[in-house]
Structure formats: C-alpha cells, structure tokens
Amino acid sequence: MTQYRTASRDSSAARLRPFATWLAAVCAALAAVTWQVLVKGPLTAPDWPVHAFVDPRQPDGPLLWAAVAVARMGQRLVTVPPLVALGLWVTLLRRDARPLLAVLAGLGSLAVVGTLLKVATGRTPPVVGVDVVTPGLANVLDWTAAAVVPGAAAFEGYVSFPSGHSANAALTYPLVAWLLFGANGLRPDPRRLRAALWAALLPVAAVGAMMTLLDYHWASETLGGWLLGACVLLVARLVLGRGDTGAVAAGSAPERWRGGPAGAPGGTG
C-alpha cells in the first residue's frame, strides 16, 4: 500500500510538470508582449490600422446589443459569482478544498497582476484617439495612494493594457471545464473535459474579439489579456492538482483517472 501511494504521488507530480512548464512559457510571452507595448515595437504596428478600421464602423441597434452582451461574458461582475459558487460546490461535494482554492488563486492572481500591469504600463485606450504609453513606478504609487489614503485625489492615469475582459474570459471558461470534468472536478471524464476545453475557446475568442471590434482595446491589449488569463489559469490549474484524493458525492472517480501502480496508464488532468 505504501509503495502504491508513493508511486501515485510521483505520478501526480509528473503529470503537473507540463502545466508548470506552460506557465513559464506563457508568462515569458506576456512579458514579451508587455515589452513590445512599452517600446511600441513591431507587435503593436497593427493597433492603429485596426482602430482606424473599426472606429467608424461601430454597430448599432440589436447588433450593438448583441456585441456588448458577448463582451460582457468577460466582465467579472458577471463571471465571478458563478465561478466562486461552482468552486465552492465542487469543494463541498468532494470534501476537498482545492477546487475553491484554485478559483480564489486564479481570481486573486488576475486581480493583483492585472491591476499592476495596467497601472504600471499606463497606456491610453483607443477611445481617446491617441496611443500613448506612460509607464513607471510613480503610476503604481499614485494608484496605491488613491486607493488606500482617505480623501486622496483620484488616480488620473490610463489603465488600458492588458484587456481585463479578455484575461477574465481566458481564466473563467477553461477553469469551469476543469472544475466540471477534470480529474479533481465534479464529474471526472476525460472525453467531456476535452470537449469542454475546446468549447471554452469560443467565449474566450469572442470576448477578446469584441474588445477590439468595439474599440474598447487595442489589438495588442487583447493579446496581452489572453496571455494574462492563460497565466493565471495555469496557476489555478496547478492549485487544483492532479485529483488523486477527495471523494465525489455520487461515487469515486472513474478508474481511468486514478493513479495506479508504477507503469500503469493514467488519465490526463
């Protein structure tokens, strides 16, 4: 029994290593995009042409309502309550704190890192008609003072990069898939998980597209938002773990998800 459990723990750690590797790669990509925005590098070259194209072609009437409704699929006021509720539900049913902790880790990381990036970068949104980047630590200090000092003047800097809606969508919808069908989720099922993860790409792509098409964000800001969302999603996925412990209310996890003796095949989380 001891040998089995040791093999299971080793297998669990090994199966989480790809997520850690992807986290490092995506964080590096986010850093590269941020650097391009700061120096106005080639990656930002399409920003102004895209803005010039979509700005005079904004939808109206029912088409505008539909576009805004899609964009709001990335709004935290819309997504956070059900996401936290789902994490709490899975935690209670499995008697395992990790699902809720994963949700809180993802949301907390997004709030902290996203806010720091926005404030420190200091980029103007397309609606002002100029593309200006005024980065610096002074932005962070001014924002902090405005947030915590009673009676302090409001922060007047710009906070357009990266797109928060795009980042939140990239965190929320794949995480929902893992909470529902992942190895440590509500109803572990690898086939449904794969389908749910592919389906999650639709709202992620749609929200990001609306951020640019509705001229809320520059195109590079949408890309930065997707990368930020992927970073915090992978943080949440690492917290969620492999799923070898914890019971499901309706029964134990399917055999293909369980860690087996050394050499036995296992599922992917």
pLDDT, mean of residues 139-149: 92
Confidence of residue 210 (pLDDT cuts 50, 70, 90): very high
Residue 236 contacts residue 175 (beta carbons within 8 Å)? yes
Residue 134 contacts residue 142 (beta carbons within 8 Å)? no
Confidence of residue 19 (pLDDT cuts 50, 70, 90): confident
User: Would you list the DSSP string of 89-135?
Assistant: HHHHHHT-SHHHHHHHHHHHHHHHHHHHHHHHH-BPPGGGS---B--
pLDDT, mean of residues 69-89: 97
Residue 72 contacts residue 66 (beta carbons within 8 Å)? no
Length of the chain (residues): 269
Residue 173 contacts residue 181 (beta carbons within 8 Å)? no
Give the whole-angstrom CA distance, residue 264 versus residue 58.
Answer: 56
Residue 164's nearest CA partner among 102, 126, 111, 237 is: 111
Give the whole-angstrom CA distance, residue 131 versus residue 160.
Answer: 10
Give the whole-angstrom CA distance, residue 166 versus residue 203.
Answer: 10
Instruction: Give 89-134 pLDDT, tens digit per residue.
Output: 999 999 999 999 999 999 999 999 999 999 999 999 999 999 999 9
Residue 114's nearest CA partner among 188, 224, 267, 1 is: 224
For the cut 80, the answer to whether the pLDDT of residue 15 exceeds it is: no
- Provide the whole-model pTM: 0.86
